[in-house]
Amino acid sequence: MWAVVLVALAFVAASRPTVKQQQSPAAARPSVQAALAAVLSAAGPDTVTAVGPYRQVGTCSLTAARRGVEWSQVVDVYGPTARLAGLTDRLPARYQAKSELSFTGGGRMTVAHPSPFLKLTVRAAEKDPGHLIATVDTGCRPTTGNPYPAFLATASDPERGPAKRVFGLFDATPKSWQRTELGCGAGTVTATGTASSPLPSPGRVLDAHPQPGRLITHDDARYVYLDHGRGLVVTADGDRLTVTATTPCR
């Protein structure tokens, strides 16, 4: 008897989802992107960003009888002004942003709620000054198919041009390409590849071949600069080279 009652209750719960449970990852995407665009605006003009993919990061239970999925999108922000100090106050007031202890250990992070069902966190990258990581999590959502083809855009040849030029300076070949975007117009093309031997410091190579635009920041492993409004991040790790080229929000 109790088994019948429990099944009936599960059916009722599954047939009467909450508002959040009616919103698929596709429906949540504009709000996710708007929250990340707000972070880019709050970070200031002297920064370069790299937009990550909107992707599934886990599974979950919507109800006792209904499975769901969790999606997330990340944006990396680089530059001397990419600091948590003051960021909380520059986000929209309705986000109710506040500073909390970081879940990765020491330090603080900014936590905000752009909408009742989204969570925004902004934290400083560990042992990497001038690098912020902003993440928006959707929480548990109903699945309507995976992957969503609309989220898997392909970079055009002109969009690949800046990264290809950088790879040529390192005598390396890009092996994979990824194109990601935000609704504000920001878009990132990421190229990843390897060289036949360990790579030199990006600064050493790029300083020897001066690039157009303006240097934002650099260290032994990364070189960040602006080229006619587009932000480039060049990262070398052993024989692996990664280049992101990002157009800003319009």
Pairwise CA distance, residues 114 & 217, whole Å = 30
On whether both 112 and 31 belong to a single domain, the answer is yes
Q: Which domain holds residue 169?
A: 153-247
Domain count, the chain: 2
Pairwise CA distance, residues 186 & 230, whole Å = 10
- Give tens-digit pLDDT for 53-66: 999 999 998 888 88
DSSP assignment string, 187-237: EEEEEEEE-SSPPPPHHHHHHHSPPSSEEEEE-SSEEEEEETTEEEEEEEE
Pairwise CA distance, residues 58 & 60, whole Å = 7
Domain boundary, last residue among 80, 110, 141: 141
Domain boundary, last residue among 141, 175, 208: 141
- pLDDT category at 107 given cuts 50, 70, 90 is confident
Q: Which of 31-40, 98-107, 201-210 has the highest mean pLDDT?
A: 31-40
Classify residue 66: in a domain, yes or no.
Answer: yes
75, two tokens: 């944006």
Pairwise CA distance, residues 88 & 8, whole Å = 46
Contacts of residue 51, defined as CB under 8 A and 6 or more positions apart, other chains included, come to 36, 73, 75, 180, 181, 182, 186, 187, 188, 246
- Give tens-digit pLDDT for 134-193: 999 999 998 766 556 667 678 999 999 999 999 999 999 999 999 999 989 899 999 999
pLDDT for 109: 92
On whether both 39 and 131 belong to a single domain, the answer is yes
pLDDT for 105: 60
- Give tens-digit pLDDT for 4-50: 333 333 333 343 444 455 588 988 999 999 999 999 999 888 899 99
pLDDT for 150: 61
Pairwise CA distance, residues 122 & 17, whole Å = 30
Q: What global pTM score does this model have?
A: 0.86
